[in-house]
Amino acid sequence: MKYAIFDSTGFPKAFYDSEIHKKIPRNAVQITDEQWKEFIENQGKRRWDFEKNDVVVYEPPLPSLNELKKQKQKELLLYEKQRLQKILDSYGYISLADVQFYASQNDQEAQAILSWYQAYDDLIWSYIDNDLSAFTDLEELLAIDMKNIEEQIYQQSIQQSPLPQNEE
């Protein structure tokens, strides 16, 4: 037999199997193999209904509009960071500080990369400050693909400030 201990909202905290565990806590609830499997295959998406004594689907509440805007901003900034690192790697730079150092030494490639990054970063923050902050509909904001937004911003940035030819 399988058993589970649940938190106050019905999410499993621990599972026990009488074939494996010699001691089963007294507050453990007996569950079927099918119920145990439902929890294992849908972690975080199932909870125990204490009234029905059964597994039920859990649908987390939607975030507030402001919470979602913050999530989308973090997502876009993560994509920006990944893009920057990919470009730095392709030119053989370790970090943006490397680029800034070489640009200060009048290295034309580094100056061009730095110029591109300034345009790119300005466009990212312009999107966050203007477009993202203007959303008033949660469903519309949920539908926004931030990876696609980042790609559009990247394309716009290389139009404004082209990256140097990479001899890779």
pLDDT at site 168:
53
Q: Which long-range contacts (CB under 8 A, 24 or more apart) does 105-111 make?
A: 108/164, 109/164
| Consecutive 10-residue averages of pLDDT for the chain (168 residues) | 95 95 94 96 95 93 93 98 96 95 96 97 98 94 96 97 82
Task: For residue 2, give the nearest of 41, 40, 28 by alpha carbon.
Answer: 28
pLDDT for residue 62? 86
Residue 116's pLDDT is 97
- Whether 100 and 114 have beta carbons less than 8 Å apart is answered as yes
pTM of the model: 0.70
Q: Which helix (H) or strand (E) holds 6?
A: strand 2-6
Residue-level pLDDT at 95: 95
Amino acid 60: pLDDT: 86
Give the pairing of strands 29-31 and 2-6: antiparallel
Take residue 108 and report the two structure tokens written for it.
């034309």
Amino acid letter at 138? Answer: L
String of b and e for 97-107 (b: at least 16 CB within 10 Å)? eebbebbeeee
Q: In angstroms, rounded to a whole number, what is the distance separating the alpha carbons of residues 144 and 115?
A: 28
Q: What 8-state DSSP symbol labels residue 60?
A: P
> How many angstroms from the chain centroid is the CA of residue 38?
26
pLDDT computed for residue 117 by the predictor: 97
